[in-house]
Amino acid sequence: MDIDNDAVLAETRAWVTRAVIGLNLCPFAKAAQVKEQIRYVVSPATNEEALLAVLCDEAQRLVLTPPDEVETTLLVHPQVLADFEAFNDFLDLADAALVDMGLDGVLQIASFHPQFQFAGTDADDIANATNRSPWPTLHLLREDSITRAVESFPEPERIYEANIRTLETLGVAGWLALQQACRRDAQR
């Protein structure tokens, strides 16, 4: 598969801007985006072993970099784990790697995938779009940052509920239009 890393990166940035921030799916993302503290990495990995190595390298880099320089890292991996079940299974390996590195409680991984599906939902349930990205993506987050953000947000448990309402209002047609807009943005 011939992957254009620049296009992958551009589409991912457009998704963060239009969906994650634009729909306010993560009320904490805008500040990091505005301050240019999100590190975007397109992995060249073509198998799980190589992806795990890149993930470990990026986790170490994030821990060693001051948060005012890099708050969080999006590791996009277009050439591996295109199947959601395989991607979901890989998350156990990724979490175990953080434990092995002594980073449990320091970093956590959020998962995004074009076919993301919450347990107990149908594949076409619009709620799944909260975690649907253009490409398979592992999001490395600092635990301290999550704690501060949650403490500063009244009723953080309501974020998910608000996201579902937003996506239900947007609807499937609106979500598809947003995805197309991200692809167009990436072509500019």
- Segment 2-29, tens digit of pLDDT: 899 999 999 999 999 999 999 999 988 9
* CA atoms in the 13 A half-sphere facing the CB of 181: 13
Separation CA 110–CA 130 (nearest Å): 12
Q: Is the pLDDT of residue 151 over 70?
A: yes
CA torsion 64-67-71-73 (nearest 10°) is -10
Total number of domains constituting the chain: 1
Chain segment 23-52, per-residue pLDDT in tens: 999 988 999 999 999 999 999 999 999 999
Separation CA 44–CA 22 (nearest Å): 29
Note down the domain range covering 64: 5-187
Question: Which phi-psi region, left, alpha or beta, contains residue 101 (left: φ > 0; alpha: ψ -120 to 50)?
Answer: alpha
Chain segment 61-92, per-residue pLDDT in tens: 999 999 999 999 999 999 999 999 999 999 99
CA angle 4, 34, 40 (to 5 degrees): 30
Confidence class of residue 134 from pLDDT cuts 50, 70 and 90? very high
DSSP conformation class of 104:
B
Would you call 23 helix, strand, or coil by DSSP? coil
Separation CA 138–CA 87 (nearest Å): 10
Chain segment 79-133, per-residue pLDDT in tens: 999 999 999 999 999 999 999 999 999 999 999 999 999 999 999 999 999 999 9
Residues across the chain: 188
The model's pTM:
0.95
Cβ-based burial of 101 (10 A; exposed 0-12, middle 13-18, buried ≥19): middle
Q: What pLDDT is recorded for position 1? A: 62
Helix H or strand E segment including 88: helix 84-100
Q: What pLDDT is recorded for position 111? A: 97
- Among residues 148, 125, 183, the alpha carbon closest in space to that of 27 is found at 148
Separation CA 75–CA 153 (nearest Å): 26
Q: Encoding tokens for residue 91?
A: 């998350």
CA torsion 33-138-169-187 (nearest 10°) is 70
Chain segment 175-186, per-residue pLDDT in tens: 999 999 999 999
